[in-house]
Amino acid sequence: MNGLATLSWGWALWLVAGLVAKLPAAGPAWHDALYADGGGWWHGRVRVVIRNRSDRDARGHPVAVPIGPDEGQAALGGKRAEAIRVCNARGEELLFDVRDGQGELVKEGPIPPGSTLVVPADCPAGGEAAVWVYFDNPTAWPVPDFLERYPGVVNGDLELGEGDQPLGWRHDPPDATHRASWAAENPQSGQRCLKTVVARGAEPTWIATRQAGIAVIGGARYRMRAWVRAEDVRGFAGWYIHIGNDDNPMLIAPMLSGGGGTYGWRQVEAEFTAPVDATRADLGTVLRGTGTAWFDNVTLQCVEPGPLQVTCEKPERVQLEAVGNGAEWIPAPDGPGSSWDGRAVVRVANLGDRPLGPALVVVGLERLRAHWHGPVDPDRLVVTLRGEAIPHFLADERLVFQASLPPRSICTYYVYFSRSFEMATKRRWDYAALVASPANRVANPSFERGQNEPEGWSSTGAGPGIKLGLDTAAPRGLGRRAARLKVDADRSDAWRGWRQSVRVEPGRRYWFSAWVKCHDVPDGQLRVHAHRRTGRGQLSRQQPMVSIGPSLGGTVGWTLLSGVISMPQDTEIFEVHLTMNTSGTVWHDGVVVAEALPGRLVRLEAPPPADPDGIAVWQVPAVEKVFPDTIPPRKSGPVAIAAARNEWEPLQLGLRSHRRKVEVAVRVEPPRGPGDRRLDRFEVNRCGYVPVDYPTNYYRYEGPVWKRKIPTQPPGSDGWPGWWPDPLPPEAKVVLRPQHTEAIWITFRIGRAVRPGDYHGRVLLVDSNTGRTLAEVPFTVHIWNFTLSDRSDLAAIYDVRLGPGGEWWGEPFAMAYRKIVPFMAQRRLCADTIRPAPQFRMEKGRPVIDLREFDRAAEWYFDRFGLPVAYTPWQFYLFGWGHPPKTLFGQRPYPGQAPYEGADRSRLRAEYKRAYQAVLGEFWKHMKERGWDKRMVLYISDEPFAQHEHIRKQMQALCDMIHEVDAEIPIYSSTWRYVEDWVGYLDVWGIGHQGRTSVEEMRQLRKAGARLWFTTDGQMCLDTPYCAVERLLPYYCFKYDVEAYEFWGVSWLTNNPYRFGWHSFIRQSSEPGRSYWVRYPNGDGFLIYPGKPIGYDGLVSSVRLEQAREGLEDFQYLRRLSELIARSGGEGRKSAERAAAQKALDRAMRLVSIPNPGGRYSTRILPDPKHLYAVRRQVAEAIEGLIAR
């Protein structure tokens, strides 16, 4: 039996009678919001009908759909696999597999003949359901996640594979005494089999070759058969199978033992009934003991008839009318110097067969804000369709205008912008007109009708101390009246205010907005809320409660709150809540709920250039990211950078070819300066782009595993979907495409002995094919007359871990670690801990510790690279989030079993304390003997749930346990915020720089003797327009007297980072009994790229990593200037230089403040990147001025 036969046989079990007759189409409208569309749309789809003939619901059970040209097959042969999407009638996307005739997963490229599509069936018992398979979108991106839950063993005869990896199987990592491999040693049949060797005397383990994710039907009867042979096996050899689900993968675990000793090929077999709630099987080889065993030909058969049938209908296709695309540029308004800076291309699609509108088109302007270096001015925009201007307005960085779309059309609007003039004729849309528009579904939206209470609104929560009524304080243009709610301070115990139910259509999007003002409302507690309900008034299943912001508090004048809300498939009523559960007075007016069509800002376009055959080259501050649609400036100034001695400094250039495609070689003539000396230590890097599917935030998913996990909550950043610059591969060539911007970095490494002054060089851009020089760029490097120290004055700690996508590093963690740490140290960054960790164990109640390898690693870490700090080995880490302490050295922390419900968390078991303290005491004694204790910090807990009393008590008890060993052991926890109960227990506090810990609370912690670090998880995403937080964190540390910052990962991957700039959802549990899927921010956890995926033998830096280094160098500027000011004289000795220096330092401190929006909003915390460089230059000049004195 070959691999194809094994796979096809397994799939056939799920199909009862092959293909059934074609059913009449009864599908929904064309789905218009499928995942990772790349800016395009799907031209074709196939309807697949699934029938369930069993008496059990099929919930995610995989079914096989043959691909081919015949009647009833899915006509997908030759189509791009990366453009396949599958969804149900509700528009919910489903995971799928495309597998070729050998069973291999086809992720990209044309789908081969004879392939099979595997989709999950969501079908009631005795019923049917349909899914739609979409294809043919030329711009669709590949997807990273697949069903990978197939009905049968893949490659069960072990004949297929490459190298030492059989297709569909995974070997456990080997060690010196245990090894699993793919062999060609007398297989049971065919050419290959599996082999496991365990050396004599080795510790018994479950070393295996495994296959996971085989789909099973809960309650069905199965038979597993396989073959095994053995040689000198002491113990037993055979096969295992685990039957379970995603929450518990091992509900039952039949074992197929062939026994021990020496014997030839022996068949083993097990028959079992899958538990009712089982959905998956994992199976593999077993050699529990020592010796050698071989394994071959495994099958898993459902011994009951397959209950599911499928049929495929003929493909449908859609053609869209293009409206407005490719319009000529409209003339700029008359006037001196008037010209457009550029225009944004906005597309809106109607894939249905009915006209849409009038409706609102809502367009996020994050991309334009980044280009503009500040808020977008609506008076400097013109929105056009076919050259005709359209009224518009702006709300919270969203462009809003009204549109009507023909059936099956895609309309292209152009948004022209210029910062040099305002429009001669105002083209803004009056918000009052929107309120009164037929598109607004709210009754009496401006509260003009009604006597004591507004018509169409119902009040709730009236009573003593509560005043609900109307007021004559309406915003200008919105009539005479507004709704008013006043709540006394002692009555803020319930939700009170106005409500109205608005009819909506399931699956549609709606603009939701209102004007709000408030008086004496506690800070940050006021938003506009709504409930999504079914047609019967029940709360919708999916996130029924929503709100719009920004959050208001205190006393604030009229402010427009707005957002776009998607309606789940069961939502028919949108209940508006103008309510609050706090005290103060709040007014509401101008409430709008109107259908919203998503407008996509596809790209920015540059005006037609004066020289269409030329190449534009200009300097861009290295803290600012260069995008494929970055528009060249009208005029580019001199190209120059500045650096101190012993500093690295990058020069970033934007390159753009206007009309032709050309490969350009970048050649740098080393700059020459004083004494005709050269700066010849530099590296040239091309800035690479990675795709981002959805703007950054933390996203949670709690639905079925077989549905595609797509972010649906609002973003938490100022980014947008598209291509983002990040990796910096060391390449001195770049391919320029027409109207597409690229970036190159030239990083100069300035030596300690370089003479100060100006150094002049040139960058030559040479056509790689003809050798012709296309552009010459003169540049200057100014060297300041001071030197940075070799070692950073600030600890910037980045954890080294590889993550679920560690395969992309191409080597074991231990090897990658030895490369990553020096790479970081070169850039003044510090790793988290020393590896390998010591070997700890308890023997007869006494600790036995092997520190030999650890000591060698610590010398390498501390002495060779001078790294300032390390966490104690992770064995001493105790708990995270809301979990109890982990079991350590064979001891549980509390009586009973985890999660220790009802246990007194303040009282640890004496045996637990003795074991932990004994091992920690021995380790800490050794650290003091080696002089490393002052550079060690014990990381006790990550983000502990301080809102729970039992966690607060648990932390106190654990800190006491540690300090009983030595009161000088510094205990660290990333609390993010001030927790009064832990003052005096924690020594080092990881607080948030955004303001979750106030400046006053920071002062209180210092007064109590605590050390302060910033914890920064989730802040360094790759999809925010500037590298602001990476660069500015040292400024925050300097200004607020914080001694270090830490970030949770520098190398943690879930996908190939070059192909996917976002993470896959991972399974996570933050409290006992509570698990869910979570997706971390885009780029979170990695700032270094592996070279393997691009064929480079080394590590690849990123723009974010280099700006983290730049920030640490800036910190030395600030520290140096501060020290010089302090030494420059006391009373009566203040000089002009000292005053200028203090002014420069004060200006640098004004770059940052607490509170702030956080690192994912770089355009808000660093509105103008050039200002940073002006400040840095002023600081450097002040340093030179004081040194000269």
* Helices 1028-1039 + 1136-1149 axis angle, to 10: 120
d(CA 300, CA 151): 9
CATH superfamily of the 611-631+638-688+726-787 domain? Immunoglobulins (2.60.40.10)
Q: Kindly give, in sequence order, each residue whose CB lies less than 8 Å from that of residue 418, ignoring residues fewer than 6 positions away.
A: 332, 338, 339, 340, 341, 380
Q: Kindly give, in sequence order, each residue whose CB lies less than 8 Å from that of residue 1148, ignoring residues fewer than 6 positions away.
A: 1035, 1118, 1175, 1176, 1178, 1179
For 458-551+558-601, CATH number out of 3.30.499.10, 2.30.110.10, 3.30.1360.120, 2.60.120.260 equals 2.60.120.260
**For strand 221-244 and strand 178-183, is the pairing parallel, antiparallel, or unpaired?**
unpaired
For residue 550, whether the previous peptide bond is cis, meaning omega lies within 30 degrees of 0, is yes
pLDDT level of residue 19 (50, 70, 90 thresholds): very low
In the chain, what is the straight-line distance between the N-terminal and C-terminal CA atoms, in Å?
Answer: 87
Q: What is the DSSP string of 708-775?
A: -----SPP-SS--SEEEE-EE---SEEEE-BTEEEEEEEEEE--TTPPSEEEEEEEEEEETTT--EEE
Q: What is the pLDDT of residue 968?
A: 98
pLDDT level of residue 430 (50, 70, 90 thresholds): confident
**For strand 316-317 and strand 255-273, is the pairing parallel, antiparallel, or unpaired?**
unpaired
Q: What is the average pLDDT value for the chain, to the nearest integer?
A: 93
pLDDT level of residue 713 (50, 70, 90 thresholds): confident
**For strand 936-942 and strand 971-976, is the pairing parallel, antiparallel, or unpaired?**
parallel
Would you say 360 and 402 are in contact if contact means Cβ atoms under 8 Å apart?
yes
Q: What is the CATH number of domain 3-152+311-316?
A: 2.60.40.1180
Estimate to the nearest angstrom the gap between the alpha carbon of 294 and the chain centroid.
43
CA proximity to 388, closest of 327, 326, 347, 342: 327
d(CA 731, CA 747): 12
pLDDT level of residue 4 (50, 70, 90 thresholds): very low
Neighbours of 755 (CB within 10 A): 12
pLDDT level of residue 613 (50, 70, 90 thresholds): confident
d(CA 313, CA 311): 7
Q: Is 527 helix (H, G, I), strand (E, B) or coil?
A: strand
Q: What is the pLDDT of residue 3?
A: 34
Segment 254-275 shows an average pLDDT of 97
Judged against a pLDDT cut of 70, whether residue 306 lies above it is answered with: no
**CA distances for 533 relative to 514, 576, 700, angstroms:** 20, 11, 21
CATH superfamily of the 161-304 domain? Galactose-binding domain-like (2.60.120.260)
pLDDT level of residue 1132 (50, 70, 90 thresholds): very low
Query: What tokens were used for 726?
Result: 């990040």
Would you say 295 and 285 are in contact if contact means Cβ atoms under 8 Å apart?
yes
Provide the residue ranges of all domains of the chain, joining segments of one domain with +.
3-152+311-316, 161-304, 319-429, 458-551+558-601, 611-631+638-688+726-787, 795-1170
Q: What is the pLDDT of residue 1130?
A: 54
Sign of the torsion formed by the C-alpha atoms of 703, 704, 705 and 710:
negative
pLDDT level of residue 23 (50, 70, 90 thresholds): very low
**For strand 988-991 and strand 727-728, is the pairing parallel, antiparallel, or unpaired?**
unpaired
864-879 pLDDT, tens digit each:
999 999 999 999 999 9
Same fold for the domain at 161-304 and the one at 458-551+558-601? yes
Neighbours of 458 (CB within 10 A): 11
Q: Name the phi and psi angles at 519, rounded to 5.
A: -140, 125
Segment 306-328 shows an average pLDDT of 92
**For strand 1074-1079 and strand 699-701, is the pairing parallel, antiparallel, or unpaired?**
antiparallel
d(CA 278, CA 217): 7
Segment 261-275 shows an average pLDDT of 97
Sign of the torsion formed by the C-alpha atoms of 347, 742, 819 and 650:
negative
Judged against a pLDDT cut of 70, whether residue 380 lies above it is answered with: yes
What's the fold here for domain 319-429?
Immunoglobulin-like (2.60.40)
Task: Tell me the longest C-alpha to C-alpha distance in the chain.
Answer: 100
Q: What is the pLDDT of residue 96?
A: 97
Q: Kindly give, in sequence order, each residue whose CB lies less than 8 Å from that of residue 1174, ignoring residues fewer than 6 positions away.
A: none
d(CA 690, CA 313): 37
Q: Name the phi and psi angles at 297, rounded to 5.
A: 45, 80
Would you say 446 and 393 are in contact if contact means Cβ atoms under 8 Å apart?
no
CA proximity to 256, closest of 216, 319, 300, 204: 300
Judged against a pLDDT cut of 70, whether residue 337 lies above it is answered with: no
Q: What is the pLDDT of residue 8?
A: 29
Query: What tokens were used for 99?
Result: 């597998």
For 422-465, give the secondary structure using H, E and C.
CCCCCCECCHHHHHHCCCECCCCCCCCCCCCCCCCCEEECCECC
Q: Classify burial at 754, counting beta carbons within 10 Å of its beta carbon; exposed 0-12, middle 13-18, buried 19 or more.
A: buried
Q: What is the DSSP string of 244-285?
A: E-SS-S-SB--EEEEEEEEEEEEEEEEEEE--TT--EEEEEE
d(CA 179, CA 251): 28
Q: What is the DSSP string of 548-588?
A: EEEEEEEEEEEEEEEEEEEPPTT--EEEEEEEESSSEEEEE
Segment 325-354 shows an average pLDDT of 87
Q: Kindly give, in sequence order, each residue whose CB lies less than 8 Å from that of residue 771, ignoring residues fewer than 6 positions away.
A: none
Q: What is the DSSP letter of 105?
A: B
Segment 437-458 shows an average pLDDT of 94
CA proximity to 712, closest of 26, 92, 43, 4: 92
CATH architecture of 795-1170: Alpha-Beta Barrel (3.20)
482-514 pLDDT, tens digit each:
999 999 988 877 899 999 999 999 988 999 999
Q: Name the phi and psi angles at 766, rounded to 5.
A: -115, 135
Better-scored residue on pLDDT, 199 or 610: 199
CA proximity to 982, closest of 992, 973, 970, 995: 973
**CA distances for 259 relative to 288, 289, 670, 847, angstroms:** 10, 11, 72, 38
pLDDT level of residue 525 (50, 70, 90 thresholds): confident
CA proximity to 164, closest of 154, 175, 174: 174
How many Cα atoms within 13 Å fall on the side-chain side of residue 15? 19
